[in-house]
Amino acid sequence: MSIIGRPSPQWSGSAAHNGEIVSLSSAALKGKWYVLYFYPLDFTFVCPTEIVAFDAAYDSFKAAGAEVIGCSVDSVHTHLAYMRTPREQAGVGELKHPLLSDLSKSIAAAFDVIHPDGDKALRATFVIDPDGVVQSATINNLSIGRNIDETLRTVKAGQFTRTHGDVCPANWEDGDKGMSATLDGVKGVIGH
């Protein structure tokens, strides 16, 4: 069963952030938009490209009022080592956003993103609104990296609909008009 439109699973755990171990939880994020993205493992291949891409877009997510949290089944100490490994040595280097540890796989299981082999998470991205409701979920297999710009666009689309009440048609971009959820709204978009 999909969790879209439903309350996000509650979670808490330790994360690596700014060279330290910190506590994070869904409860502490209540009232905020946030992106929780799962990736398979530290020190692998597609994962660092995504983590670094999320970090490169971090200021844009913050400007949109959204937090970003990465999560894998690695220990928080492995996350710290990954962040201490320079990018030119295939680490992720210093990051602006935290990496959450899910060593027990309980968070990935709650979001139903455990890979079929059972030892890691799939590439999954969840956009969660200030009420703790899941507004978007995308899940890719291990070999398919995600599009960070699309995640940011999805956050902004969710914020737009929450603020304006209109819906966002296909290919909506920040700054575009929405449309009313009516047949007249459809005609106004595709009837040109």
Give the residue numbers marked as catalytic.
47
Element housing 56 (H / E): helix 46-56
Structure tokens at 127: 């956009």
Distance, C-alpha 81 to centroid of its chain = 22
Tokens 């009420």 map to which residue?
131
Give the type of residue at 17.
H
- Separation between Cα atoms, residue 135 and residue 46, nearest integer Å: 25
Q: How far apart are CA 183 and CA 189, in angstroms?
A: 10
**Rg for the chain, CA atoms, rounded:** 17
Q: How many residues does the chain have?
A: 192
Residues 161, 168: contact at Cβ < 8 Å?
yes
